Structure 1
Amino acid sequence: MVLKFEKSFIIPMFVIISLVITCASQVVSGRSMHEPSIVAKHEQWMAQHGRTYKDELEKAMRLKIFKQNLEYIEKANKEGNRTYKLGTNEFSDLTNEEFRASYTGYNRPVPSLSRQSSRPSTFKYQNVTDVPTSIDWRKKGAVTHIKNQGNCGSCWAFSAVAAVEGITQITGGKLIELSEQQLVDCSTDNNGCSGGLMDKAFEYIIENKGLATEADYPYQQEQGTCDEQKEKAAAATIGKYEDLPKGDEHALLQAVTKQPVSVCVEASGQAFRFYERGVLNAECGNNCDHGVAVVGFGTAEEEDGANYWLIKNSWGETWGESGYIRILRDEGLCGIATEASYPVAM
């Protein structure tokens, strides 16, 4: 049996049946991409994070990205030899490119534009030998609450401020929340929400003779005009800063023994982005794109005795371990010792 159309175009019945079967399989496949459980999870995620879309077309696109990210998370969590778990978070409907453009912001230094054009071979803490098995500067009162840079590439400012807040408390006995917004607005050697460097932030603080408090110069998640009156209301300052030898995790260990340290990491990979808990031991690259602060180190007995760095991030308290991440130590993961530096008190 055949079907006849105009111009004697003839389609054998077995071809018709084959097409019907193919279309049916594609419908089933399409449904699997948007199966009720995925749709429900996306809707639940949207409600949790207050996410809305301009129309159904954008919603369908974001659902597809959400599904791809969720599949990566579930696959990674099933693999062996993992000392960490991943989970969905506020970044789960973004592509890697979108995430990198909006939520990182560390600009790798150009030697000719930096006062300290090469990493030093000596540093203040190089003779420190009394390194404890663990230290947590939070417990010593030298770390302020987790902050959120939002959709602004100002991680460099949060990293630098965390280090300055730390050394201010250690040397002065008082923990003061300092202003990232002042750096975003006034540190002209940096690029505000388009990225920057912690060292250039330290240089600005030295030249300006200090930073205002967060209360006096609050964060806005965007770059504005420098408020010169607030800029001069310094609540804390530093005398200088020092860089650590490039890639030297032992030097970093010595420094963190004495104070929180600004570092850069490669944070745009999926393992870092969707980190939820544990000690991250994934290959995350060493091309720095995000500034954070190391505020401690230790050994995780519950994670096969893994040695870790304790890192304060600036993506809010809902990310990671209440805003923190632990990264496997002594393996060079995420480029953590690539560009480490710390402020020195007056």
Structure 2
Amino acid sequence: MYYLNVLPLFLFFSLTLGSYPQYDLEKAHEYFADFIKKYERKYESAEEFRMRFEIFKKTLVQINEWNANSDYENSGFIITQFADLENVPPCFDPSQMNNTMPLTEVKREFIVNAPDEIDYTTQGLVTEVKDQNPCGSCYIFAAIGNIEGVHAKQNPGQLVSLSEQQILDCMSEATCHGGYSLNVINYVASSQGCMSEADYPYIEKTKTSCRFDAKKVKAKVNPAQTFNTPDDESLKGALSQNGAPLAVTVEATDSFTRWQGADVFTPKDCTGGGANHAVLLVGYGKDANGVSYWKFKNSWGTGVGDGGYYKLNMQNNCSFGRVATCSAT
């Protein structure tokens, strides 16, 4: 393994609300040293080290540009665990979608009567923010988040953090290179259920060995349904009709991976070209300025977004919630 042979200087900015300063590009090596230490990076060769450092420097330039042109009051862009990656690792695989699967039409009564706001994090239906780490397993985290919420809705007071690693180890088509949340939900429904995170902890590796123990199952659900949500109103209605968080997809771009703060996020680098990431939709609402947003829980840890949550402007070009919106029943 190749390491930077300097003492990390812990030069990540101490960020305060409304203060997202520029990174000094002359100190790029020092920032990179801190990055390697903080995220425990180990590069296989000097060549890979140099390549990652060049990407890291480009990331700093991009972050500075975004912050210089930002009008956010309480948010900005920072160095995160993705700073040495050229592209967002895709973890939603649309090729696994079955185009013959019937879509569930959202009932008109839920579309017409959808409340002004929903936040399932305040209703005991959402567990802690988790971190998928380098594994491209977002589709599993979104599905498990949905199962946790549906189970808690059906069994009030029984919100349990469930195991993503069980899926990686025991579901035949599960990989660290993307998948489809509906397949995860249906696997749990067709098997004997899902164990808890505590009994089957996440180690971000695929197919270690299946250690499923039916005696330790904490949740069971029925097969999944996929909602037809081609627009914002139908997605609001689906979230209301479901009565629990939904697994949805989004085009997660570089700006998503650098974002930190509580403001409504309006990414400017989405292309509208399709989804590459799965998240857990937990609500929607409007901020103090009347800007409508979707609230979702990500699976990148608490260091991005607002403690791991994002408020995404409904006026976005990120294909949010347009395909693969699904839930256990």
- Give the TM-score, by structure 2 length: 0.81
- Whether contact under 8 Å (1:294, 1:309) holds in the other structure is yes
1:69 lines up with 2:59 in the alignment: yes
Distance 1:226 1:206, change over 3 A: farther
Shift of 1:312: 0.7
1:292 lines up with 2:279 in the alignment: yes
1:122 lines up with 2:105 in the alignment: yes
1:95 lines up with 2:98 in the alignment: no
> What amino acid is aligned across from residue 63 of structure 2 in structure 1?
I
Whole-angstrom CA distance in 2 between matches of 1:36 and 1:229: 51
SS at match of 1:145: coil
Q: How does 1:274-289 map to 2 (within 5 A)?
A: 274-277=258-261, 278-283=263-268, 284-286=270-272, 287-289=274-276
Runs of 4+ in 1 over 6 A off after TM superposition: none
Question: Which moved further from structure 2: 237-246 or 53-62?
Answer: 53-62
Whole-angstrom CA distance in 2 between matches of 1:149 and 1:240: 24
- Whether contact under 8 Å (2:195, 2:219) holds in the other structure is yes
- Whether contact under 8 Å (1:249, 1:330) holds in the other structure is no
Rg bigger for which structure? 1
Q: How does 1:208-227 map to 2 (within 5 A)?
A: 208-224=191-207, 227=210
SS at match of 1:105: coil
> What amino acid is aligned across from residue 69 of structure 2 in structure 1?
E
> What amino acid is aligned across from residue 159 of structure 2 in structure 1?
L
Whole-angstrom CA distance in 2 between matches of 1:87 and 1:265: 21
Shift of 1:58: 4.2
1:336 lines up with 2:321 in the alignment: yes
Distance 1:48 1:148, change over 3 A: same
- Whether contact under 8 Å (1:246, 1:338) holds in the other structure is yes
**Number of the residue aligned with 1:11:** none
Q: How does 1:255-266 map to 2 (within 5 A)?
A: 255-257=238-240, 258-266=243-251
1:321 equivalent among 306, 314, 317: 306
SS at match of 1:279: coil
> What amino acid is aligned across from residue 177 of structure 1 in structure 2?
S
Whole-angstrom CA distance in 1 between matches of 2:151 and 2:104: 26
1:245 lines up with 2:233 in the alignment: no
Gaps of 5+ in 2: 1-23
2:39 equivalent among 34, 41, 49: 49
Task: Considering fraction of residues, name the structure with more helix.
Answer: 1
**Number of the residue aligned with 2:122:** 139
**Number of the residue aligned with 1:13:** none
Whole-angstrom CA distance in 2 between matches of 1:186 and 1:232: 16
Shift of 1:184: 1.3
- Whether contact under 8 Å (2:80, 2:303) holds in the other structure is yes
1:108 lines up with 2:108 in the alignment: no
Whole-angstrom CA distance in 2 between matches of 1:201 and 1:292: 14
1:205 lines up with 2:188 in the alignment: yes
1:177 lines up with 2:164 in the alignment: no
SS at match of 1:296: strand
Distance 1:60 1:324, change over 3 A: same
- Whether contact under 8 Å (1:327, 1:333) holds in the other structure is no
Whole-angstrom CA distance in 2 between matches of 1:55 and 1:333: 36
**Number of the residue aligned with 1:160:** 143
1:186 equivalent among 164, 170, 174: 170
- Whether contact under 8 Å (1:119, 1:246) holds in the other structure is no
SS at match of 1:341: strand
CA RMSD across the alignment: 2.5
Cα-to-partner distance string for 1:12-67 (whole Å, 9 max, x where unaligned):
xxxxxxxxxxxxxxxxxxxxxx9533333333333443445556554443332111
**Number of the residue aligned with 1:4:** none
Whole-angstrom CA distance in 1 between matches of 2:25 and 2:190: 58
- Whether contact under 8 Å (1:182, 1:211) holds in the other structure is yes
Shift of 1:160: 0.4
Whole-angstrom CA distance in 1 between matches of 2:95 and 2:47: 40
Query: Share of identical aligned residues, percent?
Result: 27
Distance 1:322 1:261, change over 3 A: same
Shift of 1:240: 2.7
Gaps of 5+ in 1: 1-33
- Whether contact under 8 Å (2:70, 2:76) holds in the other structure is no
